[in-house]
Structure 1
Amino acid sequence: MACTYGFLSTHPPTQCGLATFNSALSAHLTKGGMRGGTVRVTTEGDDERSIPGVVHTWGPGRSDGWQAAASALDRFDVAIVQHEYGIYPGPDGQDVLPLLRRLTVPSIVILHTVLTRPTPRQRRLLEQIVEAAGAVVTMTGTARDRLLAGYHVDGAKVSVIPHGAADHTRVSAQRRLRPHLLTWGLIGPGKGIEWALRALALLGDLIPTPTYTVAGKTHPKVLEHHGEAYRNRLHRIGTRLGVSASVRYDPVYRDDASLSRLIRSADVVLLPYDSPEQVTSGVLIEAVAAGVPIVATSFPHAVELLTGGPGLLVPHEDPAALASAVRRILTEPGLAKDLTKGTAALVPALLWPAVAARYDELARSLIAARPSAVAAAMP
């Protein structure tokens, strides 16, 4: 039986991790003519033009708000809801809760963040969201364990399905004359790029000296509230350290093909993130799928995926440790190959077709579990 999907999320042309994730997941779940549509969540200043695949827009200040969004999602067999604090209207995005309670179709809520130290309101809201959902997905075992240990939720509802990735191996790796270090994604405080610049300064004795690409626009929310203060600070740090000539800032939001070429040109992907809370990183998944060695700070998703795997872990805010790990990958014979040799076994389960198939299986299990009278009324 054909299954139709309604998605609730930010969505392109909005540029953020949730929008990119939702775009990829919806594209793969609706391949082959399957019907689906996105209820796009927007904020003040977002582009509100008509977008293919978007069946309704939940914008700021609309009096019908979550009610109209719920009605739009009820036209599909299953609603897939992306959850992140602050995406939806209301304190901590609380307006998503009455929407979930209003839905008459099964819902799958994907948790992009599970905090270890939530405020009391954040904790209670997430507990109520899990209660209202038909099923809940975390993208790492760490996030699931954190959810079950720190919140009063029904563990039987929670599944782990990894963040999807594109098949970057279809693109040939194009090595550069100098070792190429890469960080990409939306830029802003917390990305830890200042520590990577300091690490780069400690690698000046290598011959040839590495280059470092920082690819990505400034996060729209950061740009709105702080302008380019963080990026300007990075330029000042690079100048002070004498590494500016080796750093390339590439402030574009790339399509899949362009991103694949960039990732495959890297010798090392640097993820020097500051936060110890990050249980999901799409950039990390893409780097693993591309088969490029990774040096990352010990945020939870990196610890789970890289321990004994395709990368090296370092402490937060430690440029000497970053530099040492990069130096090892660039100079120790065979280390880069040893780090990534197990990637081939991991990648098939991380690619979008496999990830979408698991969501489809979960959705069909929810439909099958519905009361027979409701199921009989379905088209």
Structure 2
Amino acid sequence: MPGGVDDPAAPSGGNNYDRRVCRDLPQVGWQVRENTVAGDWPQPGPEARAALAAILDDTADGGIVLLDGLVACGVPEVIVPEAERLRLAVLVHLPLADETGLAPDRAAALDLAERSTLQAVAAVVATSEWAAGRLVEHHGLAPSRVHVAAPGADIAPLAPGTANAASSDAPRLLCVASVTPRKGQHQLVQALSTVAHLPWTCVCVGGLDQDPDYVAGLRELIGAYGLDDRVHLVGPRTGAALNASYAGADLLVLASHAETYGMAVTEALARGVPVLATAVGGVPEAVGRGPDGSVPGLLVPPDDPAALAAALRRWLSEPGERHRSKVIARRRRTALAGWEATSRSLARALEQLRQETREAA
């Protein structure tokens, strides 16, 4: 089973998911041959399109191919002609038109291309129940062809945060997200400006190269509010550096405008770090509930800096709220599903394709 992955060198949730399932699917009975295709996806140049077409052409009739949606959804002219010969499955991390900052005509063109692709392939895999339902409704897909394989989480050591630090240390806020309009860091900074009288620091971990203009504007906003010494854009982190960021955090903050799931949420909860996030898309599924039904953090409406500011003010100013959220997050930590569950969900979707192929033979 070949798999299409967009950029395995980039530290993003989608790429982490792709690499993890490529690694784990053999453990649940699938042989995987991974293919990477360089290009400016989802709108690549001729060479990238030709490279993807060659990979598909090289696959035997009836072969099962799992493609990342960023690669597949924007090029129906490559995917649709192969949909009859091959058993194609597309993994949709984020619908193409949901990326913020797109010109209306480009968003409409990407949405139409994605619909053509998803309506043609044999199976679609979404990363949350919310995302699956939206794809069915928005693109007119048969529910039986849309499957859910939510990202897993690796339970990590409990994050000490500032609990063992000097009593004068301010609470540490952490945002893990690429610095783009969709992730809403500008609204986070606006909200933080309203609680500048309270002690806190905030580290924003995430790529800075996707939208340089947005990053420049965000830096100006931070400076305008006088928060240069409190809000830090540190770029992408992986491995030990990312683990250290989580270990030092007291609260994960996520102000996204669109998320199909929100892997940073479960990565924080896997360390017992509570969450303050906008209740968009699949984020409430990622946050989940503790064994007693309590929510391990705070969820606020999107595009509402005032609500975000009020939640921050409550968490920062009330020690009891900080303690309560940490206790619930640590309970949620033990109930998180691992990556094995992700691979098994994905394997069930692929097995359905294999069974349909046998029945058609």
For residues 70-219 of structure 1, the aligned pairs below 5 Å read 70-74=56-60, 78-84=64-70, 87=71, 92-98=74-80, 100-101=82-83, 103-104=85-86, 106-114=87-95, 122=110, 125-165=113-153, 167-170=154-157, 172-175=159-162, 176=165, 177-206=169-198, 209-219=199-209
- Residue 323 of structure 1: which of 306, 309, 322 is its match? 309
Partner Cα separation in structure 2 for residue 354 and residue 170 of structure 1: 21
Partner Cα separation in structure 2 for residue 337 and residue 169 of structure 1: 15
Aligned equivalent of 2:350: 363
Q: Quick one: which amino acid aligns to residue 366 of structure 1?
A: L
Residue 325 (structure 1) shift = 1.3
More deviation in 233-242 or 120-129?
A: 120-129
Aligned equivalent of 2:238: 254
Partner Cα separation in structure 2 for residue 370 and residue 360 of structure 1: 15
Residue 100 (structure 1) shift = 4.3
Aligned equivalent of 1:285: 266
In the alignment, does 2:18 pair up with 1:28?
no
Q: 1:32 to 1:101 in 2, by over 3 A?
A: closer
Partner Cα separation in structure 2 for residue 230 and residue 28 of structure 1: 36
Cα contact 2:148–2:346 (8 A) shared by 1: no
Q: 1:99 to 1:25 in 2, by over 3 A?
A: farther
In the alignment, does 2:35 pair up with 1:39?
yes
Residue 112 (structure 1) shift = 1.9
In the alignment, does 2:340 pair up with 1:353?
yes
Residues 334-374 of structure 1: CA deviation (Å, up to 9, x unaligned) = 42135425513541x2x222211222233233323322585
Cα contact 2:177–2:183 (8 A) shared by 1: no
Partner Cα separation in structure 2 for residue 288 and residue 140 of structure 1: 17
Cα contact 2:126–2:146 (8 A) shared by 1: yes
Cα contact 1:39–1:72 (8 A) shared by 2: no
Q: 1:258 to 1:99 in 2, by over 3 A?
A: farther
Residue 44 (structure 1) shift = 5.6
Aligned equivalent of 1:268: 251
Structure 2 unaligned spans of 5+: 99-103, 289-293
Residue 161 (structure 1) shift = 1.6
Q: 1:33 to 1:144 in 2, by over 3 A?
A: closer
Residue 122 (structure 1) shift = 4.9
Q: Quick one: which amino acid aligns to residue 267 of structure 2?
A: E
Partner Cα separation in structure 1 for residue 220 and residue 9 of structure 2: 31
2:47 alignment partner, SS class: coil
Q: 1:44 to 1:332 in 2, by over 3 A?
A: closer
Residue 242 (structure 1) shift = 1.9
Partner Cα separation in structure 2 for residue 141 and residue 34 of structure 1: 24
The RMSD of aligned alpha carbons is 3.3
TM-score of the two chains, using structure 2 as the length reference: 0.80
Residue 146 (structure 1) shift = 1.7
Structure 1 unaligned spans of 5+: 46-57, 223-227, 375-379
1:229 alignment partner, SS class: helix
Q: Percent identity?
A: 22
Aligned equivalent of 1:11: 7
Cα contact 1:181–1:267 (8 A) shared by 2: yes
Residues 148-199 of structure 1: CA deviation (Å, up to 9, x unaligned) = 223322111112221233x142465343532100112221223221222232
1:18 alignment partner, SS class: helix
Partner Cα separation in structure 2 for residue 39 and residue 216 of structure 1: 25
Q: 1:170 to 1:63 in 2, by over 3 A?
A: closer
Q: Quick one: which amino acid aligns to residue 200 of structure 1?
A: L
Cα contact 2:80–2:117 (8 A) shared by 1: no
Q: Quick one: which amino acid aligns to residue 79 of structure 2?
A: L
Q: Quick one: which amino acid aligns to residue 320 of structure 1?
A: A
Q: 1:9 to 1:59 in 2, by over 3 A?
A: farther
Q: 1:95 to 1:14 in 2, by over 3 A?
A: farther
More deviation in 64-73 or 6-15?
A: 64-73
Residues paired across the two proteins, number: 339
Residues 211-238 of structure 1: CA deviation (Å, up to 9, x unaligned) = 100112214x42xxxxx33223222222
Q: 1:149 to 1:342 in 2, by over 3 A?
A: farther
Q: Quick one: which amino acid aligns to residue 364 of structure 1?
A: E
Partner Cα separation in structure 2 for residue 72 and residue 138 of structure 1: 26
Cα contact 1:9–1:40 (8 A) shared by 2: yes
Q: 1:361 to 1:127 in 2, by over 3 A?
A: same
Residues 265-303 of structure 1: CA deviation (Å, up to 9, x unaligned) = 211111112x2x432333233233333211112322224
Aligned equivalent of 1:337: 326
